[in-house]
């Protein structure tokens, strides 16, 4: 296998619960990153920005997890964080952050600075518990964003409700091979796509109840 055909970034979901995020940059790009970060269960979010938007300031004021500094980034900012996301057009800043983060083994995403990145920021689609992340290994982020927009138009509210109902059923049953088999049966049921497309919550609920009723004791 040629090394040219090997992907350089393996997609994983980063567990945010109990973790500390550092966001560098608070202009319109950083504002978007902060808005997304607030949707996740970070224990603390530190924002450092020299040119924050008013929306960035307001978000920082309304969420108790956010600590906001309007100043240049300092090395001490990375001392106790678990992930750093930089959203500026400053090439030198990306290199500086990489120099601070790598000895500490702190993963860094530096926007449009591939050589400084340890992780890449995907284009996200969120439908309740479902999160679709579209990534190109940092090579074609604009195309990832275009694909995200196309998929967003096709993924209606039924996907969110299906995910919530299946998650509810999963949490109500003890872990077992039978539970795993039952959940796979629900997800693979040929009736489910139509129920999702119609956002037929009652139909989805009945399908799940029927599958649970056929589980072995």
pLDDT along the chain (217 residues), means of 10: 71 95 93 96 97 94 96 96 96 97 97 93 91 88 91 93 95 92 94 97 96 87
The pTM for the full model equals: 0.85
Handedness of CA 96, 100, 103, 106 (dihedral sign): negative
Residue 6 makes CB contacts below 8 A (sequence gap 6+) with none
CATH of domain 122-154: 3.30.160
Contact 87, 117 (CB under 8 A): no
Alpha helices in the chain (DSSP H): 28-37, 54-62, 91-101, 141-154, 157-172, 177-188, 192-197, 201-213
Number of Cβ within 10 Å of residue 23's Cβ equals 26
Helix (H) or strand (E) holding 134: strand 130-134
Domain ranges of the chain: 14-121, 122-154, 157-213
Instruction: Pick 14-121's CATH classification: 3.40.47.10, 3.30.2130.10, 3.40.50.720, 3.30.43.10.
Output: 3.40.50.720
């Amino acid at each position: 296998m040629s090394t040219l055909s090997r992907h350089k970034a393996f997609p994983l979901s980063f567990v945010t619960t109990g973790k500390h995020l550092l966001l560098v940059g608070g202009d319109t790009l950083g504002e978007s990153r902060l808005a997304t970060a607030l949707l996740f269960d970070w224990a603390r979010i530190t924002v450092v920005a020299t040119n924050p938007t008013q929306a960035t300031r307001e978000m920082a004021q309304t969420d108790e997890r956010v600590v906001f500094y309007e100043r240049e980034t300092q090395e001490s900012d990375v001392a106790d964080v678990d992930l750093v996301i930089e959203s500026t057009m400053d090439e030198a800043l990306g290199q500086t952050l990489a120099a601070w983060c790598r000895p500490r083994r702190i993963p860094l995403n530096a926007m449009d600075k591939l050589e400084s990145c340890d992780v890449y920021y995907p284009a996200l689609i969120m439908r309740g518990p479902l999160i679709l992340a579209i990534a190109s290994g940092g090579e074609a982020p604009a195309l990832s964003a275009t694909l995200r927009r196309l998929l967003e138009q096709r993924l209606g509210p039924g996907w969110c409700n299906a995910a919530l109902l299946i998650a509810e059923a999963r949490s109500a049953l003890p872990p077992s091979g039978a539970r795993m088999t039952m959940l796979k049966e629900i997800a693979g049921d040929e009736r489910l796509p139509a129920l999702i497309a119609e956002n037929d919550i009652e139909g989805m609920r009945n399908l799940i109840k029927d599958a649970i009723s056929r589980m072995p004791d």
